[in-house]
Amino acid sequence: MDARVTSDALEVVVVVVQFGAQGLQSVHPDPAMPGREQIAYLGPKASYTHQAALNAFEGDGYDLAPQTTIEDVFASVQSRSATHGVVPFENSTNGSVVFTLDLFADASGKYPDIVVCGEVYIEVHHCLLGRSPPVTSKSALETQTHGTGAGAGAGALPALLKQPLGIAGVTHTHSPSSSGHATPTTTLPHPYPSRTHPLTSLAHITKIYSHPQAWGQCATFLSCYLKGVERQDVSSTSRAAELVAADASGTSAAISSAIAARCHGLEFLARGVEDKGDNCTRFFVLGRRDGPATPTPDGPEATEAAAPAATSAGEGADDAAAKFKSLISFTVPHAAPGALADSLAVFKNHGLNLTSINARPSGEAAWHYIFFVEFQGRKGEAGLGRGNGSGAVDRALEELEGVVEQWRWLGSWENRLGK
Ligand SMILES: O=C(O)C(=O)C[C@]1(C(=O)O)C=C[C@@H](O)C=C1
């Protein structure tokens, strides 16, 4: 399957594969089926991370186990209660997922064996989910009752699956409660208008729930149509949908996925509320240093096959290196001028192209930082078989040892960008 999957396209697949077959029960290890792999992911079900997990682990051999927090996913893999974990790493609109970075920083040494062994890109199209505003006229009531499948809940999934993905009986309308334009400020005198309009009035919404990452991805819509409305951070977008479904007042809403709407019988108050149409989140597949490799879409041998020696078949070292990415974290002597520049020069010296760079508080002292550098290529002895043919990563790591204070290897995996 294409590694970059749209969340809408996955919607039916996810419901059939995961919810249809197993209902909405939690997935627990099945002692009757030894050998099945446990995959921990940031849940509850219908989170974007769930979609990423289904994408990375196709087929029957896996039990997907939803976790409450990203830290729970790290802990499951570290303690071997799961063979792999799936966590969000960065979003194309809103940047890095700092919770994940801080767990990789591992200031308290709880996750020494965690490495990245794969990545998945998922297109993220957020919806505003909730209940329609209270209606007065008979015709409006009929529209609502028949239009959205509200209240159908998990028990009616077969019926939900037969519904079209659009919203029958609801016409696009500007919310009467707002202009559709963000208020100009001195820093942003000409704010962009929202890409999308609410499907109904939002005047009854007094509280919105979502994962902190989602606010920044939907900033324009929120400032145009829900300015000043209280926001509450929760552990995931699907948890937000769960909370809104349980709110009998009908005055709360969730920024969440279309799949979560189906699972919780929520109505679409708006669709496509993300600021950028190409909004995409990258997820990491976690494993243990000594654990099994992650499967690839082309089968277990694909990782080896995808790493030809740089000199074979006319392929250059650069092409071979671009098939893999690696991640390390390091700290530098804080008071030494140029220490970070010297560290980065090592990658340049060995022709290693950087693909992301992040800094987080190190946790050791105030204003001291830990750096995360991701680059093309892979370590020869990284548990995935032979190296990229050039040995550049191994040589760079050797040189880095003499430049940085402390460093940690965080894994090599197949580059899935654009696949
Ligand atoms: O809340 C979810 O559904 C998640 O899977 C987490 C998460 C994230 O942390 O980036 C994943 C994708 C979206 O970018 C928003 C939230």
> Could you give the dihedral angle defined by the CA atoms of residues 206, 208, 209 and 211, in that order, rounded to the nearest 10 degrees?
-160
Which position has the higher pLDDT, 354 or 26?
354
Same domain, 177 and 256: yes
Those residues whose C-beta lies under 8 Å from the C-beta of residue 148, and which sit 6 or more positions away, are 132, 167, 168, 169, 170, 267, 268
Q: Is residue 297 part of a domain?
A: no
My answer on whether 231 and 162 are in the same domain is: yes
**pLDDT confidence of residue 325:** 96
Asked whether residue 230 falls in the same domain as residue 134, the answer is: yes
Going by pLDDT thresholds of 50, 70 and 90, the confidence category of residue 221 is: very high
Residue 74 Cα to ligand 1 midpoint, Å, equals 16
Residues 311-368 pLDDT 10s: 344 445 566 668 999 999 999 999 999 999 999 999 999 999 999 999 999 998 999 9
List the CATH number of the domain containing 330.
Answer: 3.30.70.260
Q: How many domains does the chain have?
A: 3
Please give the distance, rounded to the nearest whole angstrom, from the Cα atom of residue 351 to the centre of ligand 1.
33
DSSP state, residue 242:
H
> What's the confidence (pLDDT) of residue 169?
34
In a domain, 294, yes or no: no
pLDDT for the residue numbered 382: 41
Residue 31 and residue 338: Cα distance in Å, rounded? 55
Cβ–Cβ under 8 Å, residues 23 and 154 = yes
Q: Number of C-alpha atoms within 13 angstroms, CB side, residue 18?
A: 32
Domain harbouring 186, CATH code: 3.40.190.10
On whether both 383 and 358 belong to a single domain, the answer is yes
Other C-beta atoms closer than 10 Å to the C-beta of 188 total: 11
- Whether ipTM tops 0.90, in short, is yes
Structural domain including 242 reads 127-271
- The answer on 145 and 112 residing in a single domain is no
Q: Tell whether 138 and 247 lie within a shared domain.
A: yes
Q: Which residues does residue 232 pair with via DSSP β-bridges, in sequence order?
A: 209
Helix, strand or coil, per DSSP, at residue 193: coil
The dihedral of CA 232, 242, 41, 166: what is its sign? negative
**Ligand 1 centroid to 372 CA: how many Å?**
21
Residues 93 and 176 occupy one common structural domain: no
Residues with CB under 6 A from ligand 1: 42, 47-49, 88, 91, 97, 124, 211, 213-214, 236-238, 281
Residues 139 and 262 in one domain: yes
Is pLDDT above 70 for 253?
A: yes
- Residue in 11, 41, 47, 50 to alter for ligand 1 test, most ligand atoms within 8 A of Cβ: 47
Q: Are residues 69 and 116 in the same domain?
A: yes
Q: Which atom of ligand 1 is nearest to the CA of 211?
A: 1
322 within some domain: yes
Angle (CA) 211 274 39, round 5°: 45
Locus of tokens 């509320």: 273
pLDDT in tens, 144-191: 333 333 333 433 322 332 233 333 333 344 444 456 666 667 666 666
Helix (H, G, I), strand (E, B), or coil: what is residue 314?
helix
Instruction: Give distance in angstroms: CA of 311 to centre of ligand 1.
Output: 40
